[in-house]
Amino acid sequence: MSTVEEAINALRSGKFVLLHDSDIRENEIDMVIAAEFVRPEHIATMRSVAGGLICLGLEYEIANKLGLMYMYEILRDHKSLYKLASNKAPYGDKPSFSLWINHNDTFTGITDMDRSLTISKMAYVCKRIDLDGKEYFFDNFRAPGHVPLLIAAKGLLHSRKGHTELCTYLAKLSGLTSCVVICEMLDSISYKALSFEKAREYADINNIPLIEGSQLHDHLAISQKQ
Amino acid sequence: MSTVEEAINALRSGKFVLLHDSDIRENEIDMVIAAEFVRPEHIATMRSVAGGLICLGLEYEIANKLGLMYMYEILRDHKSLYKLASNKAPYGDKPSFSLWINHNDTFTGITDMDRSLTISKMAYVCKRIDLDGKEYFFDNFRAPGHVPLLIAAKGLLHSRKGHTELCTYLAKLSGLTSCVVICEMLDSISYKALSFEKAREYADINNIPLIEGSQLHDHLAISQKQ
């Protein structure tokens, strides 16, 4: 297993980190990269190697300042569609999904260049959240689009232990904007989530740190004692 | 170029078809397969080979009977998020996106097995739309999820000329339920949409029909004259 410090160094250098949540939750490994460093080749790598949805996780406080809401909240208020929003996932959590967005300078919104643009401009919004970030967001993005926003739970790891919270916490530890891209690693043989062993093999070959959610929980516990 | 008849035969046999919309619209080629035939290996192929979003296109009449709405309509009514929904795509169309769904029997919702289950159960809903389809839908699906629903424009090709309308029309021509999976073909070299030449090469090697949107428009025009 890699150390939390190795993961922090990779994230700060604009490199990928692999992050396993827990055997007793989704039991899934996500590719993680800080949004501010994303370029088209990272999108191509995530869709080719990982294969899940390329999502953008935001810290709760940033989403709140933007006036964003969870999608289940938007649907819960809807006169006919509310019933679909009442179910929890089998692992017990409410989904982190908010809106799906495109930057206005994208064309179809789906190409590697387009998704990279949407993601890097959203990192810009988050960096400037206490300046003109909100104004820029409403002037320059449209929804629905091709990049799903995920909102980390208020209180982060104290409230929810999903990839959204884990990667947002890791970004904070790294001193980066809490705006992080994650993509689930899937397996074309079993048609299930990629196993820990296969992810370990990919991490070793490509010199990418692989960490467990529990390491971040331990890190949080130790930092709170100090 | 393949014929419309070859595309119909492939779709009816549960095989892929490649569909180019038009040089003057998205100029994009989508992999297309009828939802009722989708198995996990098709999801794995679409995410590995095509790389875009794996979307499920529905005929307007079916979506209407389910009480589904376009996402831009849902957001347009929202007190603070409406501004994001007011923009059209650069090629002039309103986006077809409706909700993102998971079947309740999925676990994370993103694996090949899970997305295949969501899609085949949605084909079941569409097949039984005039029986108990709506009831089954609201009892067995949740939103937000990992499979985006697209609603074809009312009046199909008379109203909008996107992949959603083209593939739904093709399903109707084929005598299949108008519930079709589409996924944009992307290029990891240019980071743009896959070129027509590269899609042609993939189609030839894999014996998959490749047709142009204009062939379906011509087919419609001829059928209306008869």
User: Which one of A28, A43, A53 would you mutate to disrupt binding with B, by most B Cβ within 10 Å of its Cβ?
Assistant: A53
CA B149 to chain centre: 8
The reported pLDDT for the residue numbered B50 is 98
Q: Check which CATH number belongs to the domain holding A31 and give it.
A: 3.90.870.10
The residues, ordered by sequence, that sit 6+ positions from B9 with a Cβ below 8 Å of its Cβ are B209
Q: How many domains does chain B have?
A: 1
In B, which residues are within 8 Å of A75 by CB distance?
Answer: 74, 99, 143-144
A87: pLDDT strictly greater than 80: no
A24: pLDDT strictly greater than 90: no
In A, which residues are within 8 Å of B82 by CB distance?
Answer: none
A9: pLDDT strictly greater than 80: yes
Known active-site residue A184: yes
Q: pLDDT tens digits for chain B (226 residues)?
A: 899 999 999 999 999 999 999 888 889 999 999 999 999 999 999 999 999 999 999 999 999 999 999 999 999 988 889 999 976 677 777 899 999 999 999 999 999 999 999 999 999 999 999 999 999 999 999 999 999 999 999 988 888 889 999 999 999 999 999 999 999 999 999 999 999 999 999 999 999 999 999 999 999 999 888 8
Which backbone phi and psi does A76 adopt, to 5 degrees? Answer: -60, -30
When pLDDT is cut at 50, 70 and 90, the band that residue A218 belongs to is very high
Residue B215 belongs to domain spanning: 4-225
ipTM greater than cut 0.90:
yes
Task: Find the closest chain A residue to B46 by CA distance.
Answer: A51
Q: pLDDT (tens digit, 9 = 90+) per residue, A189-205? A: 999 999 999 999 999 99
Helices A163-173 and A213-225 cross at an angle (nearest 10°) of 50
A148: pLDDT strictly greater than 90: yes
CA B151 – CA B142 distance, rounded (Å) = 18
DSSP characters for A22-52? -TTTT--EEEEEEGGG--HHHHHHIIIIIBS
Q: How many CB pairs under 8 A join A and B?
A: 155
When pLDDT is cut at 50, 70 and 90, the band that residue A1 belongs to is confident
The reported pLDDT for the residue numbered A54 is 98
Known active-site residue A126: no
**List B26, B28, B30, B59, catalytic entry:** B30
Q: What one-letter code names the amino acid at A211? A: I
| Region class of A177: left (phi > 0), else alpha (psi between -120 and 50), else beta | beta
Helix (H) or strand (E) holding A220: helix A213-225
Interval A55-64 mean pLDDT? 97
Do residue A138 and residue B26 have CB atoms under 8 angstroms apart?
no
Do residue A191 and residue B95 have CB atoms under 8 angstroms apart?
no
The reported pLDDT for the residue numbered A158 is 85
Tokens of B51: 């790389």
How far A125 CA sits from the closest chain B CA (Å)?
15
